[in-house]
Amino acid sequence: MSNIYRLFFTSLCAVLMSVSVFGQPTASQAAAEKYAKAIAEFSVTGDRAGYARFVEANFSAGMLSSGPLERHINFLSSIHHASRGYDLHQVQEWNPNEVVYLAKNRLTGLWDGLLVRVEAEAPYKISAIGFRPAKNAPAETRSLSARDMGSELEAFGKKLSDADVFSGAVLLAKNGEIIYKGAFGHANKDFNVPNRVDTKFNLGSMNKMFTAVAIAQLVEKGKLSFDDPLSKFIPDFPNAEAAKKLQIKHLLSHTAGLGGYFSPRYDSMSRAKLRTVDDMLNLAREDEKDIAFEPGSRWRYSNTGMMVLGKVIEIVSGQSYFDYVRENIHKPSGMMNTDCYELDKVNKNLAVGYDKQYGDAGVAWSNNIFAHVMRGGPQGGGYSTVEDLLRFDQALRQGKLISPAMFKTLASPKPELNSPDYGYGFGVNTARGVVGHSGGFPGINSNLDIYTESGWTAIVMSNYSRGAGPFIQKMNSMISSAKQ
């Protein structure tokens, strides 16, 4: 997916300054509204030839140059496939040169904010399309019993699976007691192997939580400090001067100015060469000669930063990262089906990841076997189950891994580091009272939501690209309307 679309699929996208909704829309806003209505009508059809004509006639030169025509057609096809059509409800907000419409997904029955932005000057062609979280949607007034929640989630999962937009496993719990768990779709399409509740799904970036907890354990043991400079452990990474500026807290909060790890060099090399933290560190050393900004002055998501923390754990603990996490996080939590497996070895019950490919003949699937890492690490790519993630959630809440005070430190925003929505290895949504982490990659979409005050835990693991979203929305809606 191109960056011009990806920007709007993230819930972290910045909200622009709104103009008054009580006045008449400007000419550019009226054009954006017209296009939103056209996209909603097109979303029902799945008409790729019509999408092509619409793109060529109405997309700006900048949009058209951001990728081949096929990519734009596929984006519109993905909207159709994920929704079977959107029904517009009302304008959610007006912003300069754009509109966000409250739109209901016909397949899921859930609400999204459909955004259309146009150029500032006539003829006001489309410069961006995407989605934002819905605001002021019609409220869910039902407060379901635990039994009814389970029945509704089962029916919801079957509907999505039958439509082939979800494959994976789901778990909802309250105070550690499982309200619902279920599995849908296939772990392996080649052999029609169904997913099970104990199927191991790729975590994506969710491994970052384990890395952060490992660092926190070493802090509590007095072996390092959040304020320690990286030079204390790795004096020459990425260079001696930078290593003096980078502190452990910067690496944990994505404010270090390091990059993304998945670089052109990564794309061109054999995955078989990346099995240890040192292998991963050596790759990053060559790509991270300088930090991009003064540590703590900005937020930029960084796989490399978490990978570097894995090496710090090895140096401080005297163990390999994998052994340390296995012994000090997985084992005391009872997570017996969680690890960074080497994928060219025999590993039972692992789900294969799948990504949709759109074409004139319909939807096809490709697996991610040759796209992903050979072995996960501190930055992501391990495997787990929904039940093991509940065990991790409970171990954190019960103080089995780190003290409650330390967990609060990890799971609190860090505005002083310009990280208002991310703590140390944990995403933070203060409005919802949720901490946790998501993971995404082609063929991977997993999420853990820990409701710190109300005791709810919502877990979704999918072996489809962007597959977890509808279930995350559904469970959040249920929890919001449940009697606490």
Q: Where are the domains of the chain?
A: 3-132, 201-481
The tally of CA atoms less than 13 A away on the side-chain side of residue 283 is 26
Task: Tell me what pLDDT residue 16 has.
Answer: 33
List the chain pLDDT tens, one digit each, 484 residues. 443 443 333 332 333 333 334 468 999 999 999 999 999 999 999 999 999 999 999 999 999 999 999 999 999 999 999 999 999 999 999 999 999 999 999 999 999 999 999 999 999 999 999 999 998 888 766 778 888 999 999 999 999 999 999 999 999 999 999 999 999 999 999 999 999 999 999 999 999 999 999 999 999 999 999 999 999 999 888 888 889 999 999 999 999 999 876 667 666 676 667 778 888 777 766 656 678 899 999 999 999 999 999 999 999 999 999 999 999 999 999 999 999 999 999 999 999 999 999 999 889 999 999 888 889 999 999 999 999 999 999 999 999 999 999 999 999 999 999 999 999 999 999 999 999 999 999 999 999 999 999 999 999 999 999 999 999 999 999 998 886 5
Distance of alpha carbon 24 from the chain centroid: 37
Q: Determine the topology of domain 3-132 in CATH.
A: Nuclear Transport Factor 2; Chain: A, (3.10.450)
pLDDT of residue 2: 42
Encode 364-390: b = buried (16+ Cβ within 10 Å), e = exposed.
Answer: eeebbeebbbbbbbbbbbbbbbbbbbb
Structure tokens at 106: 């016909």
The pLDDT value given to residue 137: 87
Measured CA distances, 155 to 82, 394, 429 (Å): 17, 27, 28
> Would you state the pLDDT for residue 288?
63
Question: The whole model's pTM is what?
Answer: 0.92
Cis peptide before 470, with omega less than 30 degrees from 0? no
Q: What is the pLDDT of residue 3?
A: 39
- pLDDT at position 267 is 66
Q: What is the pLDDT of residue 13?
A: 34
Query: In which residue are the tokens 């063929």 written?
Result: 443
C-alpha to C-alpha distance for 72 and 179, rounded to whole angstroms: 41
From 3.30.920.30, 1.10.150.20, 1.10.1200.10, 3.40.710.10, which CATH number describes the 201-481 domain? 3.40.710.10
Between the alpha carbon of residue 421 and those of residues 14, 154, 415, 425, the distances in Å are: 12, 32, 8, 11
Residues 6+ away with beta carbon under 8 Å from 450: 393, 396, 397, 411, 434, 435, 436, 457
For residue 268, CA distances in Å to 25, 264, 265, 299 come to 49, 6, 5, 28
Tell me the residue type at 120: A
